[in-house]
Structure formats: structure tokens, C-alpha cells
């Protein structure tokens, strides 16, 4: 019998600890598939982050270096500069990258560091219990924005894919979602392109995944999934914001 | 072989050249006075040996780049001065927790806060008590000459690899800025097992470096393991004694102050005072046993520091209970002359 579906070699055969309806599991799988697709597993080093994704080494069958909260892009810089022929990526949440690690991320992009940031934006601090994140949606209620995020009080959400696209050192920057099969297939393509940008030495590459957090959003998985496709995708439009391999590198919508 | 040639070298440059001699290939830093000659020298000369220099966006980023490079098994260094070293403490704690080697140079200046750029030994506690969060230690080497800046930096790389631990060079603005003739002796870097390094899981199971231990008992075991390592580091204890054989009083000082007071001690001898010097070179581990043995022969110690009293605590913990420990502390702002310190010796002798 022909096998048509299997666990990627890059994912260990262990159950995820993620909450029901969380998108981390899907994103982990896509990243693992892309690593397999380019046969990178044995030359990959991941700079992990702090947050719900802290246990990367439990799930990914690649070498993993823990980073202090927010510092993964600096750690990845050290790794990639020391071993330029390895494949290096970080996997960071919105608190990690867009708050504490904003300087490390932006500067890595401007230096054109040849690694890839996988950014998981679920608009909330998941691990610590649902506090407001830099990417918390306008109007969104969290444990530290109990009245809903209001620009005059809590400021505006960070748009990381757009921000990273501005850096001259960035070869590729895009925002994707995995809330439905169509978006998931697109995410798969985008992720491969981001990996290619690194493998070809084109520069820094960045993929933002919109993700759900049913637990901290206090929603059912289905409601949360819908929120990603509607409210979230409105405030964070999906698309490729920079691709130096396409003519002019203009944003596509 | 002809005797090695001497060269007039700036203190910071000696650190940079010691690093290159020891096989350091990666440097990450951020400008701050009074250590700028280190990144300036390395930005020019690291590429000549196939190395990489990065001027990072912050001291925080620099120490984390050090963590990343160190995680691959590469020899790497960062340097800064007091306020910048404060920013690096988070990363140093992670280096210690994840057992990643790295060399951190603190060409310390005065504080607290922005303080000033004059020499100070106000970072003694920070350097010797870990400095960041958690119950960890770094090996701390305290040079007192430009020659030692070179020699101890070269040594620091071997020690970092040997113990898989961050090593701190604690000098100060005086040692960074002065020039002295030194011997740039060739260094043969020792090689250590680095099978723990992250190089990609080729032909072996994937591995990781981390400091997070959530399963019951794991963190306790990890902390005990680190503690055992710190005990083993006692094999690296280094110190200098000078004129202690017939001494009635022993001055205890490290770094630049030890250098200055050596002259004061000569002057005191000329006045008939039997004074000697005990100079710790490793500040952690502290040469407590050597100091204890000395305190069984001499019962009067005089601790002199460029702060208001930090190492004096280690001296008091080390010496025999009956010994008298006097202290002279000089807050930052001015450098004492040999005459100033001779006067202080006279007061307590």
C-alpha cells in the first residue's frame, strides 16, 4: 500500500502540549515539512524563544539553542555567523519578537542576517496567561487591557511583516495564516520561499503566522479560528510584503 | 630560539591581541568608554585571521550573539564597561545556566548609574557573585598589568572551554588605557571535547542547550551539578604574594590598586615597616585557603580597594578568626598615588 501521509522526519513522535485549537501544532508541522522538503534536518540549528514555543527541542528533531526572552535573533546571528553553511531559524511569539526582542529582530533584518524568523502572532501573551501583546487587536480584551485595547490608552498593534519588509537587508517578508486549507497551502508555499531566500544567501527572511489562542481569547477553537480569518486578518492583512526575487519587490495583496 | 621581542601596547589592545592569540574567532560588542580600543582593534584584525566582528545594536544583543556563537563551540568574546556589563548580566546568567563558554571583558568604570569614566573596582560584587539572576558563578580573572591583560585573556578562553562556563576579565579604565611594553608570547589554545556543541544533527541524535528545567528534581540536580563545577574551579586559583615572608602586615589588593600599592609597599619597607602584598588574580574562585594559611603566620591585614568595601568581605571570610582586618576604600573620582597609599599604610601599621 502506498503511504500518502506521514509525520515529517523533523517532528519527533511525541504529542504536542498545545491547547485544543491552538495553531502552534499546525505551524510546527509546516516548518518541519519545509525542513524535510529541502533535506535540511541534519544541518538545521534553531534558536528557540520564550513563551508557548519554548519547548521546541521536545518536538523538533534538530539542534536547538534556548534563547533568553526576546533575544533569539541575536542568538541566531551568533550561530549563523559561526556556521554560515547551516540552516538557522528562530521561532518566536509576539511578546518575544515584537516587544522585548524588537531591537534584535529589526537589527538582524537590517544587517541582512541570513536566517529565517518564524513569527507566531496570536495577539496575546499565551504562556503567562493572556496579557496584552504588542499585536493585541484594537478593541481586544485581555487580562491587562480589560476594557479592550484603545489606541489612546494602549496604543496601536505592531505590524511586523510590514516592518520587516522595510529593512534593506530583508530578502523576503510575508504574513500568512493556517485557519483554513487554502491559507494553509499558501503558507506552505510562502515558508518554502522564505527558506529558499536563506539557502540562496539572498538575505534575511521573515514569515508571520496569524495564530489562534482559544484558551486566552476565551473562545471555542471554532470561534477562535473564525476570529483569525475575520477580525485578525482585517487588522493584519495577509500577503507577501517583500520578495527581492520578484520584480521590484512590491507588496502584493 | 631568540628571546621574544617586547612591544609597547595599549591595555585594551593587549586584551584584543590575547584573544586573537587564543584562537578567538568571533567578537560582538557595542561602543562604550573606556574599552573602545578592543572593538576597534578587533574590527580590523579579526578578519585577518578568518574571524568575524559585529558591532551589535546593544550590549544585550552582543552577549546573546556570544551565546549563539559559543553554542556552536566557537571561541567568542564580548567586552564592555560597567553600565554595559549590567546589560549583559541576563545573557551571562543564560551562558552559565546552559553551560556555554564565553569570555566577557569588563574594563570597568565608575558608577552607580552612568557614574563616570574613571577607574573603579565597584563591580567586584557583580563579577564575583554571578551578577545576574540565579545561583551561579563566573570565573573571574583580574589582571594588574598590560602583560596580564594579554596573558589572562588568552587563559580565559581555555578556562571557558574547560569548564563550559563564562569567564569574566575584570580590569578597569586604568588597565585599559595605559601602555606598557609586553611580550606577546605565542599561545597554544588547548582543545577540549565539544561534542555538546550545536552543529546540526548530522549522524547523531539532535541535541540542545538550555537552562529551563521544569520536571521535578531536574533543576535541583542541575544546580548541584553547577555547584560541583564551581568547586572544581578551585584548581584554577591564582594569586601573587610579594614580601610576605617577614611581613608583620599584609596588604590585600587586586588589579590596578595592587599595582599602585606595590610601590607604596617598597616605600614603606624603606621606612622600616615590614609590609607585604597578597594579590588575588582569580577573584572567583577566591584564594581563600592561601589567605587563611597566610593569616596563620601574619595577624594583620590591610585591604585596599577602589570602592567603599567589597573584596574586604572575602578577606574577612578567608582569614583566621584572630586576624585584624583594616580597610581603606577609595570611591571613584581620583586615582590614588603611591604616596597617598603609603600614608594609609602608615595609619594602620
- What value does the mean pLDDT of chain B take? 97
Going from the C-alpha of A145 to that of each of A50, A154, A238, the distances in angstroms are 22, 8, 25
- DSSP code at position B116: B
- What value does the mean pLDDT of chain A take? 96
In chain B, pLDDT over 70 holds for what percent of residues? 99
Domains of chain B: 6-235 (3.40.50.970), 238-348 (3.40.50.920)
Confidence of residue B5 (pLDDT cuts 50, 70, 90): confident
Q: Given this model, what pLDDT does residue B64 score?
A: 98
Answer whether A41 sits within 8 Å of B90, measured CB to CB: no
ipTM: 0.96
Q: Given this model, what pLDDT does residue A175 score?
A: 98
Give the tens place of pLDDT for each residue, B200-245: 999 999 999 999 999 999 999 999 999 999 999 999 999 999 999 9
State which CATH number among 3.40.50.720, 3.30.1330.10, 3.40.50.970, 3.60.15.10 fits the domain covering A24-249: 3.40.50.970
Q: Given this model, what pLDDT does residue B190 score?
A: 96
Substitution target from B59, B68, B201, B215 for chain A, most A beta carbons within 10 A: B68
Q: Given this model, what pLDDT does residue A251 score?
A: 44
User: Average of pLDDT values for B94-99?
Assistant: 98
CA-based nearest distance B200→chain A, Å: 4
Confidence of residue B295 (pLDDT cuts 50, 70, 90): very high
Which among A41, A66, A83 has the least Cβ separation from residue B72?
A83
Q: Given this model, what pLDDT does residue B333 score?
A: 87
Q: Given this model, what pLDDT does residue A1 score?
A: 83
Substitution target from A53, A74, A100 for chain B, most B beta carbons within 10 A: A74
CA angle B207, B212, B214 (to 5 degrees): 110
Task: Identify the closest residue of chain A to B197 by CA–CA distance.
Answer: A63
3-state secondary structure of A89: strand
Answer whether A43 sits within 8 Å of B90, measured CB to CB: no
Confidence of residue A47 (pLDDT cuts 50, 70, 90): very high
Answer whether A83 sits within 8 Å of B202, measured CB to CB: no
User: Average of pLDDT values for A201-221?
Assistant: 98
Which residues of B lie inside 8 Å of A (Cβ-Cβ)?
Answer: 25-26, 28, 52, 54, 56-58, 60-62, 64-72, 74, 76, 90-91, 94, 98, 198-203, 206-212
Give the tens place of pLDDT for each residue, B62-92: 999 999 999 999 999 999 999 999 999 999 9
Answer whether B206 sits within 8 Å of A78, measured CB to CB: no
Of the candidates A51, A53, A33, the residue with the CA atom closest to the CA atom of residue A41: A33
pTM for this prediction? 0.97
CA distance B18 to B13: 8
Give the tens place of pLDDT for each residue, B247-280: 999 999 999 999 999 999 999 999 999 999 999 9
Say yes or no to pLDDT of A247 above 60. Answer: no
Q: In what order do the strands lie in the sheet with A204-210?
A: A239-243, A170-177, A204-210, A116-121, A87-93, A44-47, A63-65, B208-209
Answer whether A79 sits within 8 Å of B25, measured CB to CB: no
Substitution target from B201, B214, B222 for chain A, most A beta carbons within 10 A: B201
Q: Given this model, what pLDDT does residue A249 score?
A: 47
Amino acid at each position: 500500500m502506498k503511504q500518502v501521509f506521514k509525520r515529517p522526519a523533523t517532528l519527533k513522535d511525541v504529542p504536542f502540549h498545545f491547547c485544543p485549537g491552538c495553531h502552534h501544532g499546525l505551524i510546527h508541522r509546516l516548518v518541519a515539512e519545509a525542513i524535510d522538503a529541502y533535506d535540511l534536518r541534519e544541518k538545521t540549528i534553531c534558536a528557540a524563544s520564550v513563551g508557548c514555543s519554548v519547548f521546541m527541542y521536545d518536538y523538533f528533531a534538530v539542534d536547538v539553542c534556548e534563547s533568553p526572552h526576546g533575544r533569539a535573533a541575536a542568538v541566531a546571528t551568533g550561530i549563523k555567523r559561526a556556521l554560515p553553511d547551516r540552516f538557522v531559524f528562530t521561532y518566536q511569539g509576539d511578546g518575544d519578537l515584537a516587544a522585548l526582542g524588537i531591537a534584535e529582530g529589526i537589527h538582524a533584518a537590517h544587517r541582512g542576517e541570513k536566517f529565517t524568523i518564524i513569527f507566531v502572532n496570536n495577539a496575546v501573551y499565551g504562556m503567562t496567561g493572556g496579557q496584552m501583546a504588542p499585536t493585541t487587536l484594537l478593541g481586544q480584551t485581555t487580562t491587562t487591557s480589560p476594557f479592550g485595547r484603545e489606541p489612546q490608552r494602549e496604543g496601536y498593534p505592531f505590524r511586523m511583516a510590514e516592518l520587516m519588509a522595510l529593512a534593506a537587508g530583508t530578502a523576503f517578508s510575508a504574513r500568512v495564516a493556517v485557519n483554513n486549507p487554502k491559507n494553509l497551502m499558501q503558507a506552505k508555499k510562502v515558508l518554502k520561499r522564505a527558506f529558499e531566500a536563506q539557502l540562496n544567501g539572498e538575505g534575511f527572511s521573515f514569515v508571520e503566522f496569524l495564530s489562534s489562542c482559544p484558551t486566552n481569547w476565551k473562545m471555542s477553537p471554532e470561534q477562535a479560528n473564525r476570529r483569525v480569518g475575520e477580525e485578525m486578518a482585517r487588522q493584519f492583512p495577509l500577503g507577501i510584503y517583500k520578495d527581492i526575487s520578484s520584480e521590484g519587490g512590491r507588496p502584493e495583496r | 630560539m631568540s628571546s621574544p621581542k617586547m612591544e609597547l601596547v595599549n591595555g585594551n589592545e593587549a586584551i584584543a591581541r590575547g584573544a586573537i592569540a587564543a584562537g578567538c574567532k568571533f567578537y560582538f560588542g557595542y561602543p562604550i568608554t573606556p574599552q573602545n580600543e578592543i572593538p576597534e582593534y578587533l574590527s580590523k584584525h579579526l578578519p585577518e585571521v578568518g574571524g568575524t566582528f559585529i558591532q551589535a545594536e546593544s550590549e544585550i544583543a552582543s552577549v546573546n550573539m556570544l551565546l549563539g556563537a559559543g553554542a556552536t563551540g566557537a571561541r567568542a568574546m564580548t567586552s564592555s564597561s560597567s553600565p554595559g556589563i549590567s546589560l549583559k548580566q541576563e545573557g551571562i546568567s543564560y551562558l552559565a545556566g546552559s553551560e556555554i563558554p564565553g569570555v566577557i571583558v569588563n574594563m570597568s568604570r565608575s558608577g552607580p548609574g552612568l557614574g563616570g569614566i574613571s577607574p573603579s573596582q565597584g563591580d567586584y560584587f557583580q563579577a564575583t557573585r554571578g551578577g545576574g539572576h540565579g545561583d551561579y558563578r563566573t570565573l573571574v580573572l583580574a589582571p594588574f598589568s598590560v602583560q596580564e591583560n594579554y596573558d589572562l585573556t588568552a587563559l580565559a578562553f581555555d578556562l571557558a572551554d574547560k569548564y563550559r562556563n563564562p569567564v569574566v576579565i575584570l580590569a578597569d579604565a586604568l588597565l585599559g588605557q595605559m601602555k606598557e611594553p609586553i611580550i606577546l608570547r605565542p599561545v597554544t589554545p588547548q582543545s577540549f571535547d565539544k561534542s555538546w556543541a550545536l552543529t546540526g544533527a548530522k549522524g547523531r541524535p539532535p541535541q540542545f542547550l538550555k537552562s529551563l528545567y521544569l520536571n521535578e528534581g531536574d533543576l535541583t540536580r542541575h544546580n548541584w551539578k553547577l555547584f560541583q563545577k564551581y568547586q572544581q574551579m578551585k584548581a584554577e586559583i591564582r594569586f601573587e604574594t610579594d614580601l610576605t615572608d617577614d611581613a608583620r602586615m599584609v596588604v590585600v589588593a587586586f588589579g590596578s590598586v595592587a599595582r599602585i600599592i606595590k610601590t607604596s609597599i617598597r616605600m614603606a619597607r624603606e621606612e622600616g615597616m615590614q609590609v607585604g602584598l597578597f594579590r588575588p588574580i582569580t577573584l572567583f574562585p577566591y584564594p581563600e585557603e592561601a589567605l587563611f594559611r597566610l593569616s596563620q603566620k601574619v595577624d594583620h591585614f590591610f585591604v585596599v580597594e577602589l570602592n567603599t568595601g567589597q573584596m574586604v568581605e572575602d578577606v574577612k571570610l578567608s582569614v583566621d578568626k584572630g586576624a585584624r582586618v583594616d580597610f581603606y576604600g577609595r570611591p571613584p573620582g581620583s586615582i590614588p598615588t603611591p604616596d597617598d597609599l603609603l600614608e594609609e599604610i602608615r595609619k594602620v601599621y
